[in-house]
A and B are shown apart, each in its own frame.
Chain A
Amino acid sequence: MLKTFFSNWKRRIVQFISLGLIGEWSFYGIFRCPFAVPYIGCGNCPVIQCPGRSLWLWSWILIGGSVLVFGRAFCGWICPGGLVSEILSMGSFLKSKLKKRVSAGLAYGKYFVLVLALYFFFLAQNPRWAIPIRTGDFFKSVGLTVEHADPVWIYKILFVLAALGLSLAVPMFWCRFLCPTGGAIEILSRFSLFGFLKNARCSDCDQCRHRCHLETRPSEINCVQCGDCKESCKPNAIEWKSPLAPWRNPDTNFGSGQARSANKPHFL
């Protein structure tokens, strides 16, 4: 299990470095952010201890830039929530058990959560659902936040924790079906310059799907550009390339047939 986990060691190194850099902010966003939608507009947040106050603007600029270049690679390489989900998913007992149709349907859940988040942030002016513990010992502050929070804040946290915890049953449950950031990135990643794509040699054997912790295939919905699947592809049908420059590889036929179907855009 550990061997599989570290098979793409470069990705693990990047993930652990980013955990060190933005992991604390992730925890603040879940457990101490008093607002309906965390991680956005942190510049004037009253929680002065939160590292997001200095990180949020550059982080979103970098995430936006990375989406345009590498698609949903943020989810697969950087996001601490993604790493936690992957670790929890190592013991998933419903791996490869969800039908493709069910999985594809549930994947729209993240767009629903995204719409809710956009509503609360832009139209409801990101309401405050908890008392901000401006500064204090992390765990005691979490206790105080929970003690004085509105019930809706508690429900939100329980929802997020339950969805993360469900990875113990269904691999990457939160990332695949509910993460609004992943949803937003997925929409924008249609315009990305590079990514893992299938070429004309793809025989639809689904080995890559079995290898994938998100149970998907390159360029399909929920592909986070992790590249873990590349080695599993016996016909060597997975390539790192630009979908905007298919002429660079004669094997890739985007104009017709199997390859076009295999690299079908996510939302069509």
Chain B
Amino acid sequence: MAKDRLNRRAFLKAGSLALGASIFTGASAFAGGFTNKTLQAWSCGGLAEAFQPANHAFEQKTGAAIAYTGAFAGALGKSLLSGTAETEVFAPRVLELARKLRAQGKMRWFEPLCFTRYVVATPKGNPAGIEGIADLSRDDVRTALAPDASPPGGKASLIIMEKAGVVEKARKNAVQSGDCVQTAMTTLADGKADAAVIELRISRLPCFAGRLEILPIPEKYIPPAPVPFTIGMMKWAKNLDLAEAFIEYILSEKSQRFFEAAGFIHARSSEGRRLTHKYGVTDA
């Protein structure tokens, strides 16, 4: 009995040591595995506020350096499709763009990354008493629009208002109608307009934090094209292990908080899974 107890203790001790050693060496190997390695990652500019802290966390964890570019995905995609530019990882908006890159053999594979949300924004305190998108047709509601901004901020907002039957009044009552969503939001946050249709992420930008209130828009009004974002490995990826580890980190629960803080629904959340199914975000 005593011998048996001793053996068990010895076994547990040796096992713990072995487990500890393997965890330590495994962690060390992961942390040091990508030291001094650089990965070029591009994404839709709207994701920059989520990617920046996520990249930083990945760099700290692995020792790798992420050379990150965030800009209008349509423009980046055009450069990649035309062959004037290359990157190793790309996280575009619009499923069609990822599929085009896949079809051309420029993207090896992709996975759903996150989804955007459109909302009605009002200045802090909602002085015009807006209750929903239908109120944008009220004669006394001044709107701030950016119809000439890049499509996710410009065209998509107009489609939403059109589907909700308020676009004519919203255009007529626009106190701002330019080509920059952030300029329009400054007008709104300053109280010079009463309402606007924007992506939730805009309200999370530091310059608007605490200056706007948001109201949900029914999903039936939201056009599908600008909603899903994907992340994929490009054919130019030099270090496949690093690219894969980076994508896996971005898709992990750890980086989910960065995306949610920036106003997105992460693909691996329960709502994200529903939207993945709804929008059919699957690799071809």
Chain A residues within 8 Å of B, Cβ to Cβ = 35, 41, 43-46, 48, 125-128, 131-137, 140-141, 143-144, 147-148
B75 within 8 A of A: yes
Give Cα A134–Cα B213 distance, bound, in whole angstroms: 25
B48 within 8 A of A: yes
Give Cα A45–Cα B206 distance, bound, in whole angstroms: 12
Of B69, B180, B183, B205, the contact of A133 (CB 8 Å cutoff): B69
Give Cα A137–Cα B186 distance, bound, in whole angstroms: 28
Give Cα A44–Cα B76 distance, bound, in whole angstroms: 22
Question: B93 to nearest A CB, angstroms?
Answer: 13
User: Are the C-beta atoms of B79 and A144 separated by less than 8 Å?
Assistant: yes
User: Are the C-beta atoms of B207 and A44 separated by less than 8 Å?
Assistant: yes
**Could you mark each residue 53-88 of chain B with 1 if its beta carbon is under 8 Å from any beta carbon of chain A, else 0?**
000000000000001111110011011000011000
Q: Point out the residues of chain A lying under 8 angstroms from B272, CB to CB.
A: none
Question: A192 to nearest B CB, angstroms?
Answer: 32
Of A46, A127, A133, A144, the contact of B182 (CB 8 Å cutoff): A46
B45 within 8 A of A: yes
B126 within 8 A of A: no
Give Cα A144–Cα B85 distance, bound, in whole angstroms: 9
User: Are the C-beta atoms of A132 and B69 separated by less than 8 Å?
Assistant: no
Of B150, B183, B207, the contact of A125 (CB 8 Å cutoff): B183
Give Cα A46–Cα B78 distance, bound, in whole angstroms: 20
User: Are the C-beta atoms of A144 and B69 separated by less than 8 Å?
Assistant: yes
B260 within 8 A of A: no
B185 within 8 A of A: yes
Instruction: Kindly list the 8 A-B residue pairs having the minimum CB-CB distance in the complex, ordered from nearest.
Output: A136-B69, A134-B45, A148-B75, A44-B182, A133-B71, A134-B70, A131-B75, A125-B178
B179 within 8 A of A: yes
Contact A43 to B207, CB < 8 A, known contacts A132-B45, A147-B84: yes
Contact A44 to B183, CB < 8 A, known contacts A125-B176, A144-B79: yes
Interface residues on chain B, size class = 20 to 34
7 contacts between A and B (CB under 8 A): A46-B182, A127-B179, A134-B70, A136-B69, A137-B69, A143-B85, A144-B69
What is the chain A residue whose CB lies nearest that of B205? A44
Q: Point out the residues of chain B lying under 8 angstroms from A128, CB to CB.
A: 149, 179-180
Chain B residues within 8 Å of A, Cβ to Cβ = 45, 48-49, 52, 67-72, 75-76, 78-79, 84-85, 149-150, 176, 178-180, 182-183, 185-186, 205, 207
Give Cα A43–Cα B211 distance, bound, in whole angstroms: 15
User: Are the C-beta atoms of B69 and A141 separated by less than 8 Å?
Assistant: yes
Question: A120 to nearest B CB, angstroms?
Answer: 12
User: Are the C-beta atoms of A136 and B68 separated by less than 8 Å?
Assistant: yes
Question: A122 to nearest B CB, angstroms?
Answer: 13
Of B49, B70, B79, B207, the contact of A147 (CB 8 Å cutoff): B79
User: Are the C-beta atoms of B70 and A136 separated by less than 8 Å?
Assistant: yes
Starting from the known contacts A45-B182, A148-B72, 16 additional A-B residue pairs (CB-CB under 8 Å) come to A41-B183, A48-B49, A125-B176, A126-B180, A131-B72, A133-B45, A133-B70, A134-B71, A135-B45, A135-B48, A135-B69, A136-B69, A136-B71, A141-B69, A148-B78, A148-B79
User: Are the C-beta atoms of B71 and A131 separated by less than 8 Å?
Assistant: yes
User: Are the C-beta atoms of A44 and B71 separated by less than 8 Å?
Assistant: no
What is the chain B residue whose CB lies nearest that of A149? B75
Q: Point out the residues of chain B lying under 8 angstroms from A134, CB to CB.
A: 45, 48, 70-71
Question: B140 to nearest A CB, angstroms?
Answer: 23
Question: B186 to nearest A CB, angstroms?
Answer: 5
Of the listed residues A41, A135, A148, the one surrounded by the most CB atoms of chain B closer than 10 A to its CB is: A135
Give Cα A134–Cα B150 distance, bound, in whole angstroms: 13
Of B45, B84, B85, B183, the contact of A126 (CB 8 Å cutoff): B183
Give Cα A141–Cα B68 distance, bound, in whole angstroms: 10
Give Cα A127–Cα B205 distance, bound, in whole angstroms: 21
Give Cα A125–Cα B85 distance, bound, in whole angstroms: 32
Question: B77 to nearest A CB, angstroms?
Answer: 11
Give Cα A128–Cα B176 distance, bound, in whole angstroms: 15
Of B70, B78, B85, the contact of A135 (CB 8 Å cutoff): B70
User: Are the C-beta atoms of B48 and A132 separated by less than 8 Å?
Assistant: no
Question: A28 to nearest B CB, angstroms?
Answer: 14
User: Are the C-beta atoms of B71 and A132 separated by less than 8 Å?
Assistant: yes
Q: Point out the residues of chain A lying under 8 angstroms from B176, CB to CB.
A: 125
User: Are the C-beta atoms of A44 and B186 separated by less than 8 Å?
Assistant: yes
Q: Point out the residues of chain A lying under 8 angstroms from B49, CB to CB.
A: 48
Q: Point out the residues of chain B lying under 8 angstroms from A46, CB to CB.
A: 45, 180, 182
Q: Point out the residues of chain A lying under 8 angstroms from B69, CB to CB.
A: 133, 135-137, 140-141, 144
